[in-house]
């Protein structure tokens, strides 16, 4: 993470020592680098060159409106999966004409809001949803622009919880069913076929799953053309992985050029949309946490920190690995193999197993690669308030979400009357 580096034995975000952030906002806390976010987005945009494209940032990765606004200023589109995410995009100044709306369970109200907001495309995930959208569009007197999310049954070779492109997944429509769904959509008076969508999973660390899926999608495009149905855009999803623990995912150029080459090999000239989330946000953030205690059993050493699985769910949910490093490297303690554990009353509340660390009570740690699917998945289990989010911009610190208070935690609750 080049935007997070040690200087004179202290970890910095850009030009700010992370100990200063902790002193200002306390811990646990999420810290993001503006330069890192913008650098990752631009790497993808530059990789396309003059090829017609839209980068639709996956809002679910990190939905803070400050981050969405940064990306909107760059010209980004957005991939959303709920009305709430669309409202965030609009509040952040995002362009609805660059929004693709995915998700398997869109309600009537959500579809109405999407159509009234003039999103670019609604990605259909079932025939039942197609019928619902036709009815909603007809009731509003508008035409709905759609893509059908096809399921190519390609193994992305990633964790099963983030694998979405195989036939057993709840996402998308199988290829043969999708062909019939396109023919049906073509006959519907309030539906306009705009594109074809495919997203096979997340944290994919080689190009072959992407190119395998693309081959299947392009064959479908040609088959549809023979049936008189012209596709106007290829939505090729996201899923490009990052380095958590020594992974070597494709660089932006390699990833993008593999897609462009695949399209060109079929003689197809269509704009491409992609939906990166983790690639842009993941290594653009860390979570700061303070060591409360060290505890030594006969077979285990524990570093008990103030951040828990409610603050960062990924290790408990996915068995995900995050590097955990000291904010200062001048500890007088001896290195010990620690399980880094939190305060939540669950045995799964472990941020990292067997980490070699020299630390003592009061030390600051940084949990790396915490910019994506981290704060976004935080919760209030054990009645713990959610941490603040901070954006570092050069030598400036901006609090982009205040630490939740206890009053906010209970503000929607009411006691029964006497």
The answer on whether 88 is annotated among ligand-binding residues is: no
Beta bridge partners of 398: 391
The answer on whether 32 is annotated among ligand-binding residues is: no
Whether residue 213 contacts residue 154, with contact meaning beta carbons closer than 8 Å, is answered with: yes
Whether residue 82 contacts residue 59, with contact meaning beta carbons closer than 8 Å, is answered with: no
Q: Nearest to residue 317, comparing CAs of 162, 156, 203? A: 162
Rg, C-alpha atoms of the chain: 23
Three-class DSSP category at 133: helix
The answer on whether 201 is annotated among ligand-binding residues is: no
The answer on whether 277 is annotated among ligand-binding residues is: yes
The answer on whether 228 is annotated among ligand-binding residues is: no
The answer on whether 275 is annotated among ligand-binding residues is: yes
Residues 360, 358: Cα–Cα separation, whole Å: 7
Place of tokens 């596709």: 231
Alpha carbon distance, N-terminus to C-terminus of the chain: 57
Place of tokens 């077979």: 299
Residues 403, 343: Cα–Cα separation, whole Å: 18
Query: What one-character DSSP code corresponds to residue 220?
Result: H
> What token pair was written down for 104?
């398997």
Residues 370, 244: Cα–Cα separation, whole Å: 9
Query: What one-character DSSP code corresponds to residue 158?
Result: S
The answer on whether 355 is annotated among ligand-binding residues is: no
Q: Strand 301-305 relative to strand 272-274: parallel, antiparallel, unpaired?
A: unpaired
**Residues taking part in catalysis:** 345
Count CB neighbours of 314 within 10 A.
Answer: 20
Residues 124, 337: Cα–Cα separation, whole Å: 49
Q: Strand 29-33 relative to strand 389-393: parallel, antiparallel, unpaired?
A: parallel
Q: Nearest to residue 393, comparing CAs of 57, 77, 72, 38? A: 38
Residues 379, 303: Cα–Cα separation, whole Å: 22
Residues 291, 361: Cα–Cα separation, whole Å: 5
The answer on whether 318 is annotated among ligand-binding residues is: yes
Query: What one-character DSSP code corresponds to residue 202?
Result: S
Whether residue 172 contacts residue 198, with contact meaning beta carbons closer than 8 Å, is answered with: yes
The answer on whether 314 is annotated among ligand-binding residues is: yes
Three-class DSSP category at 181: helix
Which residue ranges are tagged as binding site for pyridoxal 5'-phosphate? 239, 275-278, 373
Which residue ranges are tagged as binding site for substrate? 278, 314, 318, 346, 373
Which residue ranges are tagged as binding site? 239, 275-278, 314, 318, 346, 373
């Amino acid at each position: 993470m080049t935007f997070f580096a040690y200087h004179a034995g202290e970890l910095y975000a850009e030009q700010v020592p992370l100990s200063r952030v902790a002193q200002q906002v306390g811990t646990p806390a999420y810290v993001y680098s503006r330069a890192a976010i913008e650098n990752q987005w631009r790497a993808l945009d530059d990789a396309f060159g003059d090829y017609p494209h839209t980068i639709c940032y996956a809002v679910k990765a990190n939905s803070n409106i400050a981050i969405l606004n940064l990306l909107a200023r760059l010209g980004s589109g957005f991939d959303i999966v709920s009305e709430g995410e669309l409202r965030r995009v609009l509040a952040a100044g995002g362009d609805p004409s660059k929004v693709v709306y995915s998700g398997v369970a869109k309600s009537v109200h959500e579809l109405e809001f999407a159509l009234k907001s003039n999103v670019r495309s609604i990605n259909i995930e079932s025939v039942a949803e197609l019928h619902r959208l036709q009815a909603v569009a007809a009731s509003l007197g508008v035409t709905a622009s759609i893509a059908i999310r096809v399921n190519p049954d390609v193994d992305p070779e990633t964790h099963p919880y983030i694998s979405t492109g195989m036939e057993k997944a709840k996402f998308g429509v199988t290829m043969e069913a999708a062909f019939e769904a396109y023919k049906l959509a073509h006959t519907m008076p309030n539906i306009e076929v705009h594109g074809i969508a495919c997203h096979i999973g997340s944290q994919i660390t080689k190009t072959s799953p992407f190119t395998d899926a693309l081959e299947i999608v392009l064959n479908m495009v040609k088959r549809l053309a023979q049936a008189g149905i012209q596709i106007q855009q290829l939505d090729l999803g996201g899923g490009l992985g990052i380095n958590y623990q020594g992974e070597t995912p494709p660089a932006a150029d390699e990833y993008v050029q593999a897609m462009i080459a695949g399209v060109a090999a079929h003689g197809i000239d269509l704009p491409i949309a992609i939906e990166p989330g983790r690639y842009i946000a993941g290594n653009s953030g860390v979570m700061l946490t303070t060591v409360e205690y060290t505890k030594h059993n006969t077979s285990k050493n524990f570093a008990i920190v103030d951040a828990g699985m409610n603050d960062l769910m990924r290790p408990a949910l996915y068995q995900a690995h995050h590097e955990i490093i000291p904010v200062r490297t001048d500890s007088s303690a001896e290195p010990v193999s620690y399980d880094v554990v939190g305060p939540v009353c669950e045995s799964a509340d472990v941020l990292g197993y067997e980490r070699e660390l020299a630390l003592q009570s009061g030390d600051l740690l940084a949990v790396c690669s915490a910019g994506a699917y981290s704060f976004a998945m935080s919760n209030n289990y054990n009645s713990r308030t959610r941490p603040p989010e901070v954006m570092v911009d050069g030598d400036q610190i901006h609090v982009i979400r205040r630490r939740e208070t206890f009053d906010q935690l209970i503000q929607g609750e009411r006691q029964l009357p006497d």
